[in-house]
């Protein structure tokens, strides 16, 4: 009997000793401890910064301020000429392993190229940590928010910020944020080029104030411009190409005269349209760049519109119109 009790207590002691040598239970502060688990009361938010402004062409510096619970944890410049803090977009700003409910915030200021380096646009954004979640918070430096002479970008008062060309709250409910994935920057949430949108499609129409569909051979009214020259109005619908930063080039060909006209190029932001399409209208295409207006009135014009987005995708649309015999 005494031998049995001795063996029993010896086995208990061995188990306790083994538990002590194994590293013990998980660290409740978020360390891995022996169990390798993460504190379920903590969470992570990765701010994914994107822009339709071109690095090295439109901007060459972004000033970044990151804060946690109102305290700055990072304040630095990302520049095109810095080896230690290079500017490359998209980029990630991580807020990792923070207690649930903690407010995180970013302030982004983008500066133009050249000697003056004028601040072009600013963006503020904040949200809160959710326990046990690793979330993606997309924040865009948008060309529609660039403040410059002649621009329509609004001036927003805190706590609002400019988002997609309009003032909006800078604070975002974390419950609306998607889970983080390492391939987030390769998945587009562009309204004109969403994931799975397929190859680019461009359809040529007409219209000064909206997109209006037309058909080959339809008469296009020639108008006199306010500063000389004569033009027709071109409008297009497209999908599978980025909404902002895309180059739209319009060219024309007069088959009866064997004469090309253009190209006329712009970088305009498209408006959302029905059926997953986007539209652009009010493109004033001047006809008498090489020929006189009397030479082109009543003639057939082959119009081609080529849209090239900053990812290299290209869409082309064509339309043949008959110019009016008189202009207004």
Q: What is the DSSP string of 78-133?
A: EETT-SSSB--SSEEEEEEEEETT-EEEEEEEEEESSSS--EEEEEEEEEE--TT-
Whether residue 182 is found in the same domain as residue 217: no
**Structural domain span for residue 124:** 42-186
pLDDT digits (tens, 9 = 90+) for 276-285: 899 999 999 9
Q: Is residue 265 part of a domain?
A: yes
Whether the pTM exceeds 0.85: the reply is no
Domain boundary among 157, 186, 215: 186
170 in the same domain as 74: yes
Residue 37 lies in a domain: no
Asked if 49 and 162 sit in the same domain, the reply is yes
In this structure, are 179 and 205 located in the same domain? Answer: no
Is the pLDDT assigned to residue 128 strictly greater than 90? Answer: yes
Q: What's the whole-number mean pLDDT along residues 36-43?
A: 74
Share of the chain above pLDDT 90, in %: 63
**Number of residues assigned to the chain:** 328
Q: Is the pLDDT of residue 148 over 80?
A: no
In this structure, what token pair is assigned to residue 284? 């004033």
**Model confidence pLDDT, tens digit, residues 234-284:** 999 999 998 888 999 999 999 999 999 989 999 888 999 988 899 999 999
Looking at the structure, tell me whether residues 165 and 94 fall in a common domain: yes
- Return the pLDDT at 144: 83
- Mean per-residue pLDDT, 59-78: 96
Which of the listed ranges 98-107, 149-158, 217-226 does the model predict with the highest average pLDDT?
Answer: 98-107
Give the HSE-up count for residue 210: Cα atoms under 13 Å, Cβ half-sphere: 4
**CATH code of 282's domain:** 2.60.40.2550
Please report the sign of the dihedral spanned by the C-alpha atoms of residue 247, residue 152, residue 227, residue 294: positive
The mean pLDDT of 52-57, rounded to a whole number, is 86
Give the position of tokens 């129409």.
Answer: 205
The mean pLDDT of 72-82, rounded to a whole number, is 93
Measured in whole angstroms, the distance separating CA 314 from the mean position of its chain's CA atoms is: 18
Number of domains into which the chain is organized: 2
* Cα R_g (the chain), whole angstroms: 30
Q: What is the DSSP string of 27-88?
A: PTTS--TTTTPPPTTEEEEEEEEEESSPBTTTEEEEEEEEEETTEEEEEEEEETT-SSSB--
């Amino acid at each position: 009997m005494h031998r049995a009790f001795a063996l029993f207590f010896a086995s208990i002691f061995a188990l306790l000793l083994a538990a002590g040598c194994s590293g013990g239970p998980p660290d409740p502060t978020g360390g891995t401890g022996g169990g390798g688990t993460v504190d379920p009361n903590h969470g992570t938010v990765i701010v994914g910064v994107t822009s339709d402004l071109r690095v090295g062409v439109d901007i060459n510096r972004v000033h970044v301020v990151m804060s946690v619970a109102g305290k700055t944890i990072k304040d630095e410049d990302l520049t095109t000429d810095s080896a230690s803090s290079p500017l490359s977009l998209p980029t990630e700003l991580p807020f990792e392993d923070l207690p649930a409910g903690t407010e995180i915030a970013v302030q982004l200021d983008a500066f133009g190229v050249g000697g003056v380096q004028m601040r072009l646009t600013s963006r503020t954004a904040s949200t809160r940590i959710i326990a046990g979640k690793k979330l993606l918070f997309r924040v865009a430096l948008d060309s529609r928010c660039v403040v410059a002479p002649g621009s329509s970008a609004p001036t927003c008062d805190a706590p609002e910020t400019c988002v997609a060309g309009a003032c909006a709250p800078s604070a975002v409910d974390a419950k609306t944020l998607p889970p983080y994935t390492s391939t987030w920057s390769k998945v587009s949430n562009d309204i004109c080029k969403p994931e799975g949108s397929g190859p680019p499609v461009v359809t040529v129409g007409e219209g000064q104030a909206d997109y209006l569909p037309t058909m080959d051979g339809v008469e296009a009214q020639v108008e006199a411009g306010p500063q000389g020259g004569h033009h027709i109005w071109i409008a297009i619908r497209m999908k599978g190409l980025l909404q902002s930063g895309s180059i739209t080039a319009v060219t024309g060909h007069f088959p009866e005269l064997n004469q090309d006209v253009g190209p006329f190029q712009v970088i305009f932001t498209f408006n959302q349209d029905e059926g997953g399409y986007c539209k652009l209208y009010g493109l004033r295409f001047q006809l008498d760049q090489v020929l006189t207006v009397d030479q082109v009135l009543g003639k057939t014009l082959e119009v081609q519109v080529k849209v090239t987005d900053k990812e290299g995708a290209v869409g082309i649309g064509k339309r043949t119109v008959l110019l009016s015999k008189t202009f207004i």
